[in-house]
Amino acid sequence: MTLGAFISSGTAGVVASKFGRRHCLWAACLLCCVSNIIMMATESIGALYAGRFLIGVANGYFMTFSQLYIQESSPARYRGWFLTMFQFFTSFGTLVGTIIDWATAKRPDKSAYLIPLGMIYIVPVFLTVALFFIPESPRWLILQNKHEEGKAALRWIRPVGFDVVAEADEIRAAIDRERELGSSIGILDMFTNPIDRRRTFLAVCAVTLQAASGSMFVIAYKAYFLTMAAVPDPFAMSNVLSVMGIVAILFNSAIVVRFGRRRVILMTGLAVCGCLQLIIAVVYDKLGRTKLTGDVLVALTCLYMMSYNGMISSYAWLAGGEVPSQRLRSYTFGLAAAVGFLFAWLTTFTAPYFINPASMNWGPKYGYIWAPSCAIAVLWVLIFLPETKGRTLEEIDEMVRGDPGLFVEEGADSLQFEKRLPARGFRKYVCVGHTPDAPKGEERPASSSKSESEKVFHAATG
């Protein structure tokens, strides 16, 4: 499954260059159903592997193109909230699937696995029908030079009274300016110039923050090392921990619009998760498998799941999807998702060699590795990750490029015309806009002043 997700995410840009976000999501739904039919009908291990590979491909498309659609269609103010809710439904679905697996595991016949597999059809069938009633991503349409269709999509998505024409013109102007940087769209274009190379670096590393926190170790093996810590009924307790993580996502959804600063929340979450991993490792190292150790591990793992889900998971995907250029967004975000899947697989593959009694027998002492990993991730966020809260994707595009009013030297290469804006300068940067009639020099720091259109949207949505 992870191999399939890695391949489909890594090649998402190639597919998206010819097909829109909706068509790619339809393809994911079809692959999901086909792979499920194969797994339900076969008793061959080879066919089962093929089915799991195909459902991994579908999962990669789901994770990549659903988030691309949200990023490209959401108003700046609510982009974080929409992606937080995406994370909620992903985590909630995982929990429901785990409980169904547990409930059917002891059935004596094929229904033990046919029932869980049969439940998988619900989501792709629902999505297949629902996608007929929503428009294509307006930014993708404008990128394909379908400006009128892009405006129609924006008009469907935005509330009555929103200045759709102005937003569509701003999107088109930003895309035109990107094309001055490079007219081609391909894999190598992510690395051929300093601006797109920086965006690729930021997107990939931002998504990889999830793996750097050690989350896959805790998520994938929490039942196992809770067993090693002598916790009664570890599977039930692991579900309780998952529920607490979902509660943290819901809490985050209530604050992300007003307080959702990416840098601060990510650094806080990584620092907390690193400290918790370190404490878990020290307690297990010093006390061994005792009841007190079990109680401490349950409490700290609960705090870890809440910290990770509430402060790292959603914001890592969010930050990774905001910084790519519109021209290369599907390529860049697809690569970021693929690298994220790769490191998730690497963690789950290597973890048994550290925690199993027959190998290194570290158990929860594995946290000794993830504590410094979190510390390095905090430093990376502090130094490199820009603050993008409350910014439109076009404003982020302008800020990543730098200040167009600061010229290096007359006649220099166009890539040098703009002074590179450091990460710490994004939050208070003054955006001047891409369209010719944009107000020059007007201060537009994130989440302070809103356009009339944004005010209309906020009033319409409460």
Question: Which pair of tokens denotes residue 420?
Answer: 């590179």
**Residue pair 338/203 in contact by the 8 Å Cβ criterion:** no
* pLDDT over 90 percentage in the chain: 36
In terms of Cα–Cα distance, which of 2, 11, 3 is closest to 334? 11
Task: Say if residue 383 is exposed, middle or buried (CB neighbours under 10 Å; 0-12, 13-18, 19+).
Answer: exposed
**Residue pair 359/352 in contact by the 8 Å Cβ criterion:** yes
Rounded to the nearest 10 degrees, what angle do helices 215-228 and 194-212 cross at? 10
Q: Cβ of 448: how many Cβ atoms within 10 Å?
A: 9
Q: pLDDT digits over 321-331, tens only?
A: 888 888 888 89
Structure pTM? 0.83
- Cα–Cα distance between 412 and 255 in angstroms, integer? 45
In this prediction, residue 449 has a pLDDT band, given cuts at 50, 70 and 90, of: very low
pLDDT of residue 224 exceeding 80: no
The DSSP element (H or E) to which 144 belongs, if any, is none
Which regions of the chain carry the CATH code 1.20.1250.20?
2-134+190-384
Q: Which contacts qualify for 289-296: CB closer than 8 Å, 24 or more apart?
A: 289/228, 289/229, 289/230, 290/230, 291/230, 293/229, 293/230, 294/226, 294/229, 294/230, 294/231, 294/232
2-134+190-384 in CATH: which number? 1.20.1250.20
- Comparing 408 with 295, which gets the higher pLDDT? 295
Average pLDDT, the chain: 83
Q: pLDDT digits over 337-380, tens only?
A: 999 999 988 988 888 888 887 888 887 888 899 999 999 999 99
